[in-house]
Amino acid sequence: MPDESKSELVKRIGERIRRLRKEMNLSQEQLAERSSLHTNYVGQVERGEKNLTLETLEKVVGGLDISLEELFRYIGPMDKQDALGQIVELLVERSVEDQNMALNVLKTVMEWEEKKQ
């Protein structure tokens, strides 16, 4: 893997960690404490300056109280742009509240469609 794509992946992981931390209303200090890491290190990870080891990644997801699957869910680009991929792309950068609202709208439409039949 070329160095450019490695650093791009590290940046995307850091951005994802930052986004999740902010959605949880955690400061870098709080995440560092919950993850047993130094605050400066968390900042470097979020800026894509540090390449995480698996052990450190495990600490971070533990501090965020999420699974590795949830962390990596939207890291890679979607190769297949089917309807589901387009929906994910629209929602991935939105807040949790917006995502929940979209889910409720989708459920309402599906229930309405089922009642028609």
List, for residues 52-62, the tens digit of each pLDDT value: 999 999 999 99
Residues 69 and 12 in one domain: yes
Measuring CA to CA, which residue among 45, 49, 44 is closest to residue 7? 49
Q: What Å distances lie between residue 89 and 32, 67, 75, CA to CA?
A: 29, 21, 11
User: Is 32 in contact with 104 (CB distance < 8 Å)?
Assistant: no
Residues 102 and 60 in one domain: no
In a domain, 78, yes or no: no
pLDDT for 80: 56
Q: What is the pLDDT of residues 12-63, one digit of tens each?
A: 999 999 999 998 999 999 999 999 999 999 999 999 999 999 999 999 999 9
| pTM for the structure as a whole | 0.66
Helices 96-116 and 83-92 sit at what angle, rounded to 10 degrees? 150
Q: Which domain holds residue 26?
A: 8-73
Q: Is the pLDDT of residue 7 over 90?
A: no
Residues 19 and 69 in one domain: yes
Task: Specify the number of domains making up the chain.
Answer: 2
